[in-house]
Amino acid sequence: MDVRIVVCGLGRVGKAFVNLLIQKDKDLQKRYGLNLKVVAAVDIGGAAVSPQGLPLQDLMAHLERGGQVETLPGLGKKGYSGAEALSAPFADLLVETTPTNIKDGEPGLTHLLTALKNKKHVATAAKGPLVLRYADLKALAEKAQVKLMISAATAAALPTLDVGLSCLAGTEVISAEGILNGTTNYILTRMHEEGTPYADALAEAQRMGVAEPDPSLDVEGRDTGNKILLIANEVFQAGLSLKDISITGITKVTPEEIQQAKKQGKVIKLIGKVERKDGKIVASVGPIPLSAAHPLAGVRGTEKAMSYLTDTMDRVTVSGGKSNPIGAAAALLKDVIRIYKG
């Protein structure tokens, strides 16, 4: 089966996705019968476009030399937009990897809306459009009878949604707790294990490339909040928005609090949580002291994990998964495969 893909965003995740297509081309055809062709690669200044499929190795070599997609010889189009590519008849599916924008969701929101209105499947790593317009996007996908896959937006390679939606089918999920941000978990791990002050642990994470130069999205808990919101709405059908979630980050966690928890045999983790409470679905984010017996207590460093409590399967926990562009790209590829192979 030929699948014609529009990739919007050729940053680290977009490039990693294209490289995965190159590396796994024969395996995808042999195992799944899928011939995944990129017919448009769109970035800020324009696009490279070929209805027959772009020469991906040539494209990546061009980008590695410092070129832009719109200057790819013979195939580049300056000013060509994602909306134009997604309105064209030669595309089947959008892979969205533009940067997360929680203010207005753009440019990802326009890309998702255009794709769904034109009855094209979507696999997205961008959280902004989903956080801001989740219900609208789901309704559009349902009306168009296409798939909207969001695994890469909910902790990248960690299969949070796969477990909650597929592996726990037939159960009632009572609660979900997750360590969903590798940066904050690294900082808290250093504070707990080495007694490192918060500011020093953050600076160390930035030197290592674990934390961004502006770490506020992570350390203030907003990244975890975005992810737990999507998990709540997908797994619990909660219909929540960000304003419904209580969010506290780790910036005010003191060494004294870390040591007090340690004396009690506990460890402080930044936890995103969804639970059924008094007939409602309640979601929150905050630093919580966990007992040593808790399945998330031993999650160290940049690792992430998700733990579901159910009525019939008891507790099911999954951890690990690469927390980097390759992991996010792998989640996108997984979603593309699931769209066409169930």
- Indicate which residues carry an active-site annotation: 227
Provide the pLDDT for residue 209. 86
pLDDT higher than threshold 90 for residue 317 = yes
Q: What is the mean pLDDT of the chain?
A: 95
- 266 shares a domain with 175: yes
- 165 shares a domain with 152: no
- 218 shares a domain with 123: no
- 151 shares a domain with 187: no
Q: How far apart are CA 40 and CA 47, in angstroms?
A: 7
- 254 shares a domain with 144: no
For the stretch 82-136, pLDDT in tens is: 999 999 999 999 999 999 888 999 999 999 999 999 999 999 999 999 999 999 9
Q: How far apart are CA 24 and CA 31, in angstroms?
A: 10
- 82 shares a domain with 102: yes
Between 342 and 214, whose confidence is greater?
A: 214
pLDDT higher than threshold 90 for residue 20 = yes
266-276 mean pLDDT:
97
Q: How far apart are CA 106 and CA 128, in angstroms?
A: 8
Torsion angle, CA of 317/301/266/176, rounded to 10 degrees?
-30
- 313 shares a domain with 168: yes
- 165 shares a domain with 42: no
Q: Which amino acid is at 84?
A: E
* Percent of the chain residues past pLDDT 70, beyond the cut: 100
Nearest Cα residue to 20 out of 321, 326, 324, 322: 326
Q: Provide the H-helix boundaries in 145-219.
A: 160-161, 182-194, 198-208, 216-219
Residue 268 Rama label (left phi>0; alpha psi -120 to 50; beta):
beta
- 280 shares a domain with 242: yes
Provide the pLDDT for residue 1. 93
Q: Provide the H-helix boundaries in 105-178.
A: 108-117, 128-144, 160-161
Contact 105, 128 (CB under 8 A): yes
- 14 shares a domain with 150: yes
Q: Which domain holds residue 50?
A: 2-157+325-341
pLDDT higher than threshold 90 for residue 323 = no
* Percent of the chain residues past pLDDT 90, beyond the cut: 93
pTM, full prediction: 0.92
- 174 shares a domain with 313: yes
For the stretch 167-190, pLDDT in tens is: 999 999 999 999 999 999 999 999
Q: CATH number for the domain including 288?
A: 3.30.360.10
Q: Which amino acid is at 52?
A: Q
Provide the pLDDT for residue 210. 85
For the stretch 187-225, pLDDT in tens is: 999 999 999 999 999 999 999 888 889 999 999 999 999
14-38 mean pLDDT:
97
The number of domains in the chain is 2
Q: How far apart are CA 126 and CA 221, in angstroms?
A: 17
- 206 shares a domain with 137: no
Contact 152, 332 (CB under 8 A): yes
Work out whether strand 2-8 and strand 93-96 pair parallel, antiparallel, or are unpaired.
parallel
In the three-class reduction of DSSP (H, G, I as helix; E, B as strand; rest coil), residue 284 is classed as strand
**Per-residue confidence band for 279, with pLDDT thresholds at 50, 70 and 90:** confident
Q: CATH number for the domain including 102?
A: 3.40.50.720
pLDDT higher than threshold 80 for residue 310 = yes
Cα–Cα–Cα angle for 191, 183, 271, nearest 5°?
80
